Amino acid sequence: MARKPALIVTSTALVLALGAAVAWRLTEQDGQGRQRPERGPAAVRVADILHGPIEERRVFTGTLEASARFTVAAQSAGRVQSLAVDLADLVTQGQTMAQLDDGEARQGLLQAQAQRAVADAQHTQALSTHDIAQRTAERLDTLHRQGVASDTQLDAARAEQLEAQAAVTVAQAQLTAALAGVQTAQIRLDQTQARAVWPKDHDTGDGDGPRVVAQRYVNAGDSVSTHDPLFSVVDLDPMTAVIFVTERDYGQIHAGQRVSLDVDAWPGQVFDGQVARVSPVFDAASRQARIEVAVPNPQGALKPGMFARVSVALQRIEDAVSVPADALTRRDDQPTLFVLSADGMSVSQHTVRPGITANGRVQLLDTTLSGSVVTLGQQLLGESALVSVVQEPTTDAIPASAAASTDGAPEARQP
């Protein structure tokens, strides 16, 4: 003979069976000797009406982005001589990340320095010549006043002084040009070094902390042109979680609002953050607005591109009256509760106005209800109905033969 499959009796089935057993009972016989049914107390379950804080939370899905990203590019054309960093390396402000071939730039600097030395010497010579011409002119002017020197001699001395002055001006300009040439050559030499240079944050003024190489675009030996990208560098602390919200939730989200965030990479770990920016416009196609959330990331656990779930408390009521969501039913198309009487033998019917729903509970607006409400069996109830409160069992009754089966399939037939 084949054995019958084991049956699992759930707590809900037990309650329904108990309700059916006690909802109707036989009473006195009628005039023809037949028994007639009389409605008895309905079997119900109840839960307490709570007074305390309740908050409405919404979970949005989004993507993590680096709070800052910049590209280190080649400032001059040439061959990549060496790389100082690689993918995932930390870099600091001003650090050299790559070295381009600098032979030509160094030669140009030496040439500019030599031209500066020549210009410096010419300037010194011009000053000396001008000093001699000035003293000669002053001496002839004295002799001319004494009647010793002629007008012609004085005019010639003054002409030489003016010529020497002009030579000084030319030499000064040539020296300035030579100094500029040295500076230009130095800049060209510096441009053969690709450095990590980024601006400070305009909000906090901070920006000197280390950042991370997110991508490397070249190898040593590659030839690059001016402005070709070499590295991508990101700031991982803080991170930015980007979410999009509809008009329904937009008005309840504001800058500075606290949020919590979790990612699949770190199950069970919750990261705190706050709303940093709320877009003032909606996308015309999706009808959603961009929200940016700043998330501290001192350990670097969060990475750009991760999928994130952002939980936002849209509103919080500190002293709310709430009941389990299962307690709400409808009578005459109105939200209704059945409140247990003080003696636990009957219920009263109340039309209510629901508010926030959170964690399986519903806020009740404009009410002073207290005590307990019916959460199971409302379909049997009306105003002043008699009830019998059934306690919820702690465990379900599961036969041993049923517990032994792991896939729910019936046991194989035995011959």
Q: Give strand pairing partners of 72.
A: 231
The string of DSSP codes covering 88-153 is T-EE-TT-EEEEE--HHHHHHHHHHHHHHHHHHHHHHHHHHHHHHHHHHHHHHHHHHHTT-S-HHH
pLDDT at residue 359, as a whole number: 84
The average confidence (pLDDT) of the chain is: 84
pLDDT of 337 above 50: yes
**Is the bond preceding residue 238 a cis peptide, omega within 30 degrees?**
yes
CA–CA distances in Å: residue 356 to residues 131, 353, 369: 94, 10, 17
pLDDT at residue 168, as a whole number: 93
Single-letter code of the amino acid located at 321:
V
pLDDT-above-90 percentage for the chain: 64
Strands 353-358 and 24-29: unpaired
**pLDDT tens figures, 60-101:** 999 999 988 989 999 999 999 999 999 999 999 899 999 999
pLDDT band of residue 32 (cuts 50, 70, 90) is very low
